[in-house]
Structure formats: C-alpha cells, structure tokens
Amino acid sequence: MALIDRFFDRAVKRGELTLIRPDGSTRSFGSPDAVLKPVTIRLSKGAEGRIVRDPALGAAETYMDGSLTIEQGDILDLLDLVTSNNAWEKSNAALNPSALSLAAGKVAHWLGRKNMARKSKQNVAHHYDLSARLYDLFLDADRQYSCAYYTDPANSLEQAQADKKAHIVAKLAIQPGMRVLDIGCGWGGMALYIHAKTGAEVLGITLSEEQLKIARERAEAAGVAGKVKFELIDYRALTGQFDRIVSVGMFEHVGTPQYRTFFTKCRELMTPEGVMLLHTIGRAGGPGYTDAFTLKYIFPGGYIPALSEIAQGYEGLRYFLTDVEVLRMHYGHTLKAWYDRTVAAHDAIVDLYDERFYRMWTFYLAGCYVSFMNGGLVNYQLQFSRSRTALPLTRDYMAEAEAKLTAGSQ
C-alpha cells in the first residue's frame, strides 16, 4: 500500500475522499456523512511524497502550484473533511508532520519569533501592505481584519463586526474626557468607532504604511482628525499615558521573547486607574510553534500564544487580570464569511496578482477556518487594570454598556 493510502486510511473515516493518481487510477477513503461534503482530488507526480512528509505545508504548496487539483468540492471542503476526522480535542495524530519536518518547523519558528523592532515593521509590511483593493474584496466596509462577534451565526459579517466593536468598547468602560491608545490600529475602524460612541480622544499606532495612510484619510473624511490621530510607530517607542488601551489582533505579531516587554510597556503607558483590553488569537492547549506554511507565506515572525505564555508576560508586573473571555468558534464564522467573499472575487484577485496568489489566499483562509472549527485555536479577550477599584465589582456593566452601544443596530 502506498504511503498516501496509509495516510488517508488513518486520516479519513467520516466523509468520502476520492484520490486520482498521476496514472489515472483511483481510490476512495471514508464513508458517506451527511455533514461532510464528498471531495475528489487529483495529484500530479511527486505530490504524494510532499503531502505525506508534511501534510499541512505539502498540501498547501501542491495546491498552490497546481499539482493538487480539486475536481469535486473546493479547498475548504477538503480541509474540513480531513480536520473534522482529526478534531483537536480527540488528540488524533494522523495529521502530524514527520519527526524531521517537526524539528525543522520548530527551528524555523524559533528563528522567526525573535521579533526585534528592526524586523517587526518588515514582518507587518509582508502581510498588511498588500493591495488595498484585496482587503476591500473580502472584508467588511469598516475593514475589521480580526475576529468578529457572532451573537447569532446567521448574522451578516457587517453585523458581527459592529457587534465586536461594541463588545470590546463596553468592556473598556470609557468615560468622557479619557485618552485611549489603540495598539495595532489597522485601518482605523476601532479608533473611529471609540471616538464616535464615547467622545474620547484616540491615538492609533501601526507599523503598516498602507494602513496609516488609509486611517488618516478616514479620520480627515469624518472631520475628526483633531480627536482621532494615527502614527507610524512601534509601541516600544511610544511615550505618554493613556486612560485606556485596546489592542485587537496585534499580539500575534509580538513574539514570545517580547511578551514581557509588551506588558511592561503597556503598564508604563497606562494611568494609575488605567484599563487595557487585549484581543488575540490563542491556543486552547499548551505552547506550540507556527506552522511552516504560515511562517513562510502569510505571517513571518507571527506566533499564536497559549494562555500560559501570555500569563508569563504579565505575572509579577503588579497588574490585575480583571476579566477573561474565550471566543471559541466566532473566528471560524468570520473566516467562512471572508472565504466566501474571496471565492466570489476570484477574477478580481487574479487580476490583482495571479492564480497562485489566489490559491495561497484561499488555502490560508480555509486553513484558518478549520483551525477554529476543528483545531485548537480560540480567541482570548483579556482585560487588565493597574487598579483594583477602576472597574465595577461585577461584569453587569459590560452587558448594560453593550446594549446601549448596539441599540438600533440589530
């Protein structure tokens, strides 16, 4: 039996996968399942070995270069089929890379996570300085490129992203006259929302020149450039103090060796009664390493932390961890919406880049989707304060503020 057959025999029990080999011969794996769509793939010569040696990177690169083609279903169906059979909580090792690939991946991760200031800007530019048109094609109009908040999975992406902003701002308990810092401000949507809803002055900082340009344009267009400002600066170089700090989807780029630096700096930037809300992708299990595909093609220097690693960053710094929330499948729903919009924009994306880029991008979104729906990724929202008295005694204030912020938007 060929190695690829042994791999799929172990990996696929539920759902139907049909494999067409380079010589035209076929074999099917698994059995029909009402939840999982049947998938047929065709492999060119050499693709089998690449997939068996490292399933994730091998599948990605063979799909990108066309030596793996999907004749029934699409890349999301394929990844969902395989990962549904190997759910994180069931501890099935069928999808683990070989020992050699695992060792190489850990070394690459160790090198990549040494995310010093001189590399941070380059790493951010690799992903966020892509064409503005690309992000317009699959994000909501406010360009929220982070996990949305689905009070109902049937909600639109626009509704879920508006609810995400309300959910976070409600937790911050912002009062009139406060100054707010947005670390990793993206294209400015959160900063503009905070000012519009609370009247607070906001400073957003980013390392992406493309994001900075658009954020400033949006503030000017809204007539609030004097109250909502954006700067191209590393958080480590920032001075001053703020009543509230928010950081959404930026911590994944900090790098574990810099966690202590991050939390130390944030404490320095907070007033004595200051509060911070950190929103980050996280691992449901223990520490790991960034997979080779993501490190190579999507987020060089990026790393998704375990909760224990985040704790090592702030413990001993005289912070109060005042609230923790775990969003389990919210990012999965978000990514499915992004994936569907990307697929609908196939021709426009190919015109911007090429077919290989389109395949890379859909593999990235589909892979992230299954990591939240079947894998070990979640989203953490962690609230911190320097003071034991800055926030109300119970969480009731969050729900009350959120209801006011979302009133009329449902």
> Which residues are identified as catalytic?
368
> Interhelix angle for 209-221 vs 117-128, to 10°?
70
> Cβ(289)–Cβ(101) under 8 Å?
no
377 bridge partner residues: 283
Distance CA 202, CA 192 (A): 8
Q: Tokens standing for 286? A: 């223990």
Q: Tokens standing for 158? A: 């626009």
Distance CA 254, CA 28 (A): 44
Express the helix, strand and coil content of the chain in percent, nearest 5 each: 50, 20, 30
All residues at 6 or more sequence positions from 256 whose CB lies less than 8 Å from its CB, including other chains:
113, 287, 303, 305, 309
276 bridge partner residues: 245, 384
Distance CA 139, CA 141 (A): 7
DSSP codes, 20-71: E-TTS-EEEEEE--SSS--EEEEE-TTHHHHHHH-HHHHHHHHHHHTSEEEE
Q: Strand locations in 263-330, DSSP E? A: 270-283, 320-327
Phi, psi of 317 (to 5 degrees): -95, 10
Distance CA 143, CA 369 (A): 19
